Chain A
Amino acid sequence: MEWRWEFTWEILPRMLWATGNTLLAAGVGYLIAVVVGLVLMLGQRTPYQIVNIVVREIVEFVRSTPLLVQLFFVFFVAPQFGIKLSAWTAGMLTIGLHFGTYLSEVYRGALEGVPKSQWEACRALNFTTLYTYRRIVLPQAFPIALPGMGNYLVGIFKDTPLLATIGVAELMHTANALGAETYRYLEPYTMVGFIFLIISLPTAMGLRRLEAAVDRAQGKRRN
């Protein structure tokens, strides 16, 4: 089968429009994940052991089961309990929860990366816990968390095609629909691959730079 350029140009506008949706899905999903991750991390650091254990198990469960199955679960099961979610909402919430568990691990690692002595110093200064978090610990933890957070931004982006299976009109969904309408799969699927490459390569490169910059900054602090 030969590559048809005129067909490529013909479908390009629809593909680009769908790329916008893919980016939107990745962005919204990521924002949800950032918040959910924070909640899940804090939920493992409460004074109540039982809460910590339950949240820990939830994180483990979500982390070790496939996103695809979770999407189907939410898509099919939520309505049975009267929760009516659009495909978009269901998709965003699921992807946000899934990656939230990963981000909670990133946050946890970052917090543990802040030396214990910082906490002790704050206690000696009679700072409240909230104040300690806000002014002392988080500003130090954030640079440690940054590379991991960046990786999962790219991770979410690359998992958005799964949303096609529940009917979110992102890039993969559009390629499927174009294939079904025109019976040509070569151009749509190849274009999806290239669009992903064009977006994720520079992003990954930028993240590596950021990581190096953070490493340097931390190195300076240690001196």
Chain B
Amino acid sequence: MSYIEFLSEFLPRLASGAGMTVMVMICATLLAVFISLLFGLMRLSSNFAIQGTATVYIEFFRGTSLLVQLYWIYYVLPLMGLTLTPFVSGVLALGLNFGAYGAEIVRGGIQSVPRGQYEAALALNMSPAKRMRRIIIPQTFPLILPPAANLTVELLKATALVALITVVDLMFVAKQINATTWLSAQVFGTALIVYYVMARFALIPFLRWLEVLAARMVGKA
């Protein structure tokens, strides 16, 4: 079978798998962003309990492997009475794991905003919440986005793991086609190319665009 024939026969299935990969990626990214902000801010709290909770969370999820977390959520949580669908399990594991890494980026970004900005906001009589929202966080965007972009590419790659808990994503479809046809080079090669194209020609340009946007927003472009 020529590669063209292979593509015409299997590309539709691979494409639908890629669609699921994108879905997992988007949902997991949204969850990770939320967790990053939440725990990144908690990490900076002066309240010992809040800061401690965030530290434990971050160290725990960064210290154990993503695949271990995924299997734990998929196989062990049901034993405790909580059965989540494969999709939700996958999104949850990815979001919780990458959120922990993201929280450290958020913390670093906020800490690098100059002291004077806090003082100026204080002088203008802003409440702490408003100060964070209007003054500090917008200034962190240009600092946070480059490392966050790297993390997002890592997240896209990590979505392949959800195939191991039966989510029908690109990797899962590739495994299935391989199981029946044994066209391993074609099928896994194509999967690699699709992941590459998604990262290099869609995700990375989008993230660069966000970086430019953020820089413009704070008047640094």
Contacts and interface: CB of A to CB of B under 8 A. Distances in A.
A161 interface: yes
Interface string A133-177: 000000000000000000000000011111011000000100100
A68 interface: yes
16 contacts: A1-B80, A65-B196, A65-B199, A66-B160, A68-B160, A68-B161, A69-B174, A70-B192, A76-B184, A161-B68, A165-B164, A185-B75, A189-B71, A189-B72, A190-B72, A193-B72
A161 to B, nearest CB: 4
Nearest to B161: A68
Interface stretch (B59-67, B85-93, B133-141, B208-216): B59-67
A118 to B, nearest CB: 27
Interface string B125-167: 0000000000000000000000000000100011111011000
B191 interface: yes
Interface of A: 1, 60-61, 64-70, 72-73, 76-77, 80, 158-162, 164-165, 172, 175, 179, 185-186, 189-190, 192-193, 196-197, 200-201, 204
A162 B189 contact: no
Nearest to B159: A66
A61 B63 contact: no
A178 to B, nearest CB: 12
A189 B160 contact: no
Nearest to B70: A161
User: By DSSP majority rule, is chain A's interface helix, strand, loop, or mixed?
Assistant: helix
Given A61-B196, A65-B157, A72-B174, A185 B76 contact: yes
Nearest to B73: A189
Nearest to A185: B75
A30 to B, nearest CB: 16
Contacts of B69: 193
A210 B60 CA distance: 21
A179 B195 contact: no
A192 B188 CA distance: 29
B76 A196 contact: no
A161 B192 CA distance: 20
Nearest to B71: A189
B200 A64 contact: yes
Nearest to A60: B200
Contacts of A76: 178, 184-185, 188
Contacts of B184: 73, 76-77, 80
A189 B63 contact: no
A76 B171 CA distance: 14
A165 B174 CA distance: 15
B13 interface: no
B157 A66 contact: yes
A201 B59 contact: yes
Nearest to A70: B192
B64 A197 contact: yes
Given A66-B161, A68-B161, 19 more contacts: A1-B79, A64-B195, A64-B199, A64-B204, A67-B157, A68-B160, A68-B163, A69-B174, A76-B185, A76-B188, A80-B185, A158-B65, A164-B67, A172-B68, A179-B75, A186-B76, A189-B68, A189-B75, A204-B63
B174 A185 contact: no
A141 B157 CA distance: 30
